[in-house]
Amino acid sequence: MAQANITNIGFEELKNHQKLGTLIIDVREPEEIAETGVLPDGINVPLGEICAALSKAPHDFETKYGRKMPEKGDDIVFSCRSGKRSAQACSKAVELGFNRAKNFQGGWLEWEKQTKG
C-alpha cells in the first residue's frame, strides 16, 4: 500500500517541533515504550488506536492522553522505532483530514543515535 501525501522529517526538524510544542505521537506498543522510553514531550498512541484516537471528542482525547486534541490544521509528528509504522499512522491521519501530519523518518533508532554521547 502506497503512503500518499506523507511529509518525512529528520532529527533537526523534530527538535524544532519539540521546541514549538507540536504534538508528537509515538505509535509503538506500550511494551516497546517501557523498554526505551518515549520521545521527550511525546505521547504513546499505538498504531492500532490512531484512527479511533484522532476521531475522539477533544475532551476524551485529552482525558485519555493528557494532551490537547490536535485540530485538523495543526502540525502532528508521528514516530515509531524506525519510521515504518509512523508512516502508516501519518497516512491514516492525512486520510482523516490532518493534512499537516509529519513522519519522523528515523524514529527512535535515529533519536537514540543522535542523543547518545
Q: Which residues are catalytic?
A: 80
User: Cβ atoms within 10 A of the Cβ of 68, count?
Assistant: 12
Q: Cβ neighbours of residue 76 under 8 Å, at least 6 residues apart? A: 22, 23, 24, 25, 70, 93, 98, 100, 101, 102
Q: Cβ neighbours of residue 32 under 8 Å, at least 6 residues apart? A: 81
